[in-house]
Structure 1
Amino acid sequence: MAISFDKALGVHQYTLGIRAARAEVISSNIANADTPHYKAKDLDFDKALQAATSAQGGLAMTRSNEKHFDLKALSQEHVSYRIPNQPDTGDGNTVDVQQEKSAFMQNALEYQMSLGFLDSKFSGLKKAIRGS
C-alpha cells in the first residue's frame, strides 16, 4: 500500500516553505532599512498557503513532476508592500526596523513550530513502517 505524503504530512509541508520565503522578505526589509525610497514588503501567508494547498494549485508552471511546486514563484506572487505604521523619515523609506525584527522573530518561531509538526509526522510514519 502506497503512502500518500500529502495526506500524511497535511498542510505542514507547505507552511515550512512559505515561512522560509517570508523570512527572506523580512530580512530584505531589514537589510534595506537605510536605503532611500525603499518600501517595506511582506508575504501574505494566508493567501500563499491557500494557493499552495488548493486543488487548482495556483502554481501553474513547468514542473518535472506534477507533485513538485515552486516556492519562488509562490512567494513572489503573494508579496506586497506593507502599510507603514509611522511616517517616513524624509527619505521615502517605510521600513520600521523594530517592527521588522519583531515580525522576523515571530516568523522564526512559527518556522520552528512547523519543523516540530513535520518531525512528529515523520516519527509517526517511521513507527507505522517499523510496526513498533
Structure 2
Amino acid sequence: MAISFDKLVGFHHKALNLRNDRMEIIAGNLANANTPGYKAKDLDFKQAMASANYERTHKLTTTDSKHIKAQMQTNEAIMYRSPLQPDTGDGNDVDVQQERNAFLDTGMRYQVGIEFLNGKIKGLKKAISGGQGS
C-alpha cells in the first residue's frame, strides 16, 4: 500500500509555509515602524489557505518534465492592515504593540503546527516499524 505524504502532511506543510510568510511580513512592519509613509501589511491566512487548497484540488497537468510547477501565490493574500491608532503625522500606521502580538501569536501557531507534524511523523514511523521502538 502506497503512502501519500501529501495527504498525510500536505495541508499542515502549506499552513506552516503561510505562517512563515506572515511572520516575515510582520517582521517587515516592525523594521519599518519609524519609516515615514510606511503602511503596515498583513497576510489573509484564510484566503491564502483557500487558494492553496484550490490549487491542490485543481492541479495543472504538465506535458513535459521541464515545465515549471505551479506554486502557491501568497501575494494575492497580502493586504494593508487597517490602522488602530491615529496617524502620527508622518503617514506611518504601524502599531508596534499590535505587530508584536501578531508575531507572537503566529509564532506560537507555527510551533503548534511543527509539534503536530512531528506527532504525525512519529506515528508513521511507529506504523512502519510495526510498533517496535520509536
TM-score range, shorter chain: 0.7 to 0.9
2:68 to 62, 72, 77: 62
Aligned to 1:120: 119
% identical equivalent positions: 50
Separation in 2 of the partners of 1:118 and 1:105?
Answer: 20
1:25 aligns with 25
Tell me the number of residue pairs that the alignment of Structure 1 and Structure 2 aligns: 123
Where 1:11 maps in the other structure, the secondary structure is: helix
**CA deviation map 1:91-124 (0-9, x unaligned):** 0001000000000000000000000111011111
Residues 63-115 of structure 1, C-alpha deviations (whole Å, 9 max, x = no match): 1xxxxx635xx222210000001111000001000000000000000000000
Compute the RMSD of aligned alpha carbons: 1.8
The gaps in structure 1 that reach 5 residues or longer are 64-68
Residue of structure 1 in register with 2:7 after alignment:
7
Per the TM alignment, residue 12 of structure 1 is displaced from its structure 2 partner at its CA by 1.1
Q: CA deviation digits over 1:35-66, x for unaligned, max 9?
A: 000000000000111111221269xx931xxx
User: CA separation in 2, counterparts of 1:30 and 1:57?
Assistant: 36
State the Cα distance separating 1:5 from its structure 2 match: 1.1
TM-score (norm 1): 0.86
Q: Is 1:35 aligned to 2:35, yes or no?
A: yes
**Structure 2: tracts of 5 or more residues without a match:** 61-66
Higher-Rg member (1/2)? 2
Query: Could you tell me the TM-score, scaled by structure 2's length?
Result: 0.85
